[in-house]
Amino acid sequence: MSAGFLGIDVGSISTKGVVLDTDYRVRASDYIRTQGNPIEAIKDLLHRLKIQIGEVEVLGAGTTGSARRLAGVMLRADIVKNEIIAHAIAASQYHPDAQTVLEIGGQDSKIIILRDSIPVDFAMNTVCAAGTGSFLDHQATRLGVPIEEFGDLALSAKNRVNIAGRCTVFAESDMIHKAQLGISREDIISGLCDAIVRNYLNTVAKGKEIKPVVLFQGGVAANVGVKAAFERALEQKVVIPEHFLVMGAIGAAILAREETEGRKSRFAGFETADVKFKTRSFECEGCPNRCEVIETSRETEVIDRYGDRCGKWSEL
């Protein structure tokens, strides 16, 4: 039986997972839509990874992403870490010369500054969806273009067109206006890619020293139009890692390996995919704070509570 390390990255739009072997090679990976139900997405992902990898002894399991705590208690993960650390660890593992990581996901975007493989600065944008994957999906639908063709159409543009990209509403209005002027769809799409990059550099990356090697990770890195727009704006090459879609999950798996050095993993097993989990919230009325407590159950057993300030509920 082979051995490996499991990493799960659960975001608001997508859920990613990998199994690494002991030489940090990706032996199984998958990327699915969360669809507003992280519990079912995690279970589905475990099924898919199990089919790919077959019999494997999981020596360590780690979780990251916005639902990392939920994933952690479901899997009995050995380590739960934020996305910044996970993406930085993965970037440094496969590209030790990287000094800048640009990451644009489905609902947020981030930049990580690395020096000697150590994250020394970062910034995130979780307030506005303008310039994220969901924003691109929406604009592709509005233009009647499959998102898979978006980047190639951008590269075929003949002219540079300025599209307002600071806000989704303004971007849509500007796109409609440009279309009514008779500007080609390719030029509009290219202008939208430029607007996304301009917005990113003026908000998320503002004040950051972007040095090569520059990596571009996350779902939007699949869009060659946005990659080209970054290269024009930065006037330098941008590298897309081989496993750009699942770098957060890779980082979680690497962290799990480090965490379990010299001890046995707590991982609950791939059969977790067949277990019933339930999450609910309730308001504590014990004091004027009226904290919202989040509770997760495995079958009939409560396995996690958090959200209370005093520890009344979270101290299981």
Q: What is the pLDDT of residues 49-96, one digit of tens each?
A: 999 999 899 999 999 999 999 999 999 999 999 999 999 999 999 999
- Kindly state the tokens that stand for 78: 């050995």
Which domains does the chain possess? 2-90+248-274 (3.30.420.40), 97-240 (3.30.420.40), 277-306 (no CATH)
Q: Phi first, then psi: give them for residue 132, nearest 5 degrees.
A: -95, 180
C-beta atoms surrounding 236 within 10 Å = 13
Three-state DSSP at 6 gives strand
> Is residue 236 within 8 Å of residue 214, measured between CB atoms?
yes
What's the gap between Cα 39 and its chain centre?
17
3-state class (DSSP) for residue 30: strand
- The alpha carbon dihedral of 95, 101, 105, 110 has a sign of positive
Extract the tokens encoding 175. 């796109």
Contact present, 46 and 270 (Cβ < 8 Å):
yes
Q: What per-residue confidence (pLDDT) applies to 169? A: 67
- Name the amino acid, one letter, at 199: N
What is the predicted pLDDT for the residue at 291? 94
56 neighbors 20 (Cβ within 8 angstroms): no
**For residue 131, what pLDDT is reported?**
63
| pLDDT at res. 13 | 84
pLDDT of residue 130: 61
Strands 100-104 and 214-217: parallel
Copy the structure tokens of residue 148: 């898979």
CA distance 225 to 193: 6
Q: What DSSP element (H or E) covers 70?
A: helix 68-75
- pLDDT given at position 314: 83
What are the backbone dihedrals phi and psi of residue 51, each rounded to the nearest 5 degrees, phi first? -65, -40
What is the pLDDT at residue 68?
Answer: 96
Below-50 pLDDT ranges, the chain: none
Distance of alpha carbon 126 from alpha carbon 296, whole angstroms: 25
Backbone angles phi, psi at 46, to 5 degrees: -60, -45
Distance CA(62)–CA(83), nearest Å, equals 12
**Residue 314, token pair as written in the block:** 């979270």
Residue recorded with tokens 């009325």: 285
Specify the pLDDT at position 1: 67
Output the pLDDT for position 140. Answer: 79
The predicted pLDDT at position 77 comes to 98
Contact 112, 87 (CB under 8 A): yes
Write down the number of H helices and E strands in the chain: 9, 13
